[in-house]
A and B are shown apart, each in its own frame.
Chain A
Amino acid sequence: KAGVTQTPRYLIKTRGQQVTLSCSPISGHRSVSWYQQTPGQGLQFLFEYFSETQRNKGNFPGRFSGRQFSNSRSEMNVSTLELGDSALYLCASSLFAVSTDTQYFGPGTRLTVL
């Protein structure tokens, strides 16, 4: 099976812009979760989608949003970018649940906000 893929791999944006990141899960996986990884804050859970519905959400402002399509592919959107949004954004997929199943991670999207 193909692994989790994320596009693009690298992005450079300026403050105030918005960005959309994409994630394609492993075939058959219905749960997709997103994480922000920074040197200072470590890995933080953003949200989880299951069957096109956001099932859980971490402590991030409303500028961070996402969606999941019927084929389980997911997108994450960040509006009104701030310098502090510079991070590696990881996507992971699993069969059913973020909290109990093995997560299969993608390579990440490195976002730089100037």
Chain B
Amino acid sequence: AQTVTQSQPEMSVQEAETVTLSCTYDTSESNYYLFWYKQPPSRQMILVIRQEAYKQQNATENRFSVNFQKAAKSFSLKISDSQLGDTAMYFCALGVIQGAQKLVFGQGTRLTINP
């Protein structure tokens, strides 16, 4: 069975700091997709970043970047120059391609950016 683990239920940093959210996953497949989604308070969930497993280069989107370690099955998210608008629940997700396709989510990390 595929699983996703986010070991930090809550994190809190000061505005402008850099913060890293951890995510580990387990799958027996060689190809899959990994995602970070953001759910701001009372707002819709949106994609932060997407990574295809067979691409070794780490994905980046402006201030957001990932550290993808395929052998270690680790997919951490780094937020640089954090802003108040980054306050949200962050979910790591694994896209299972083989067999019964689905999206498996971690439990989430509640990130608070303090002024």
- Chain B 44-66 interface 0/1 with A at a Cβ cutoff of 8 Å (1 = within): 11110010100000000000000
Min CB–CB distance B95 → chain A (angstroms) = 4
Chain B residue total in the interface (Cβ 8 A): 24
| Interface hit among A19-27, A41-49, A61-69, A75-83 | A41-49
B33 touching A105 by the CB < 8 A rule? no
Whether, in the assembled complex, B84 has its beta carbon less than 8 Å from a beta carbon of chain A, the answer is no
A48 touching B102 by the CB < 8 A rule? yes
Report the Cα distance A33→B47, complex, angstroms: 15
Given A100-B52, A106-B44, output 20 extra A-B contacts at Cβ < 8 Å: A33-B103, A35-B103, A42-B105, A42-B107, A42-B108, A43-B91, A43-B108, A44-B105, A45-B103, A56-B101, A98-B103, A99-B95, A99-B102, A100-B95, A100-B97, A102-B35, A103-B35, A105-B44, A105-B46, A107-B43
Q: List 30 A-B contacts (CB under 8 A).
A: A3-B44, A33-B103, A35-B105, A42-B105, A42-B106, A42-B107, A43-B91, A43-B105, A43-B108, A45-B102, A45-B104, A57-B100, A58-B102, A98-B95, A98-B101, A98-B103, A99-B33, A99-B101, A100-B33, A100-B52, A100-B97, A102-B35, A102-B50, A103-B35, A103-B47, A103-B103, A105-B44, A105-B46, A107-B43, A107-B44
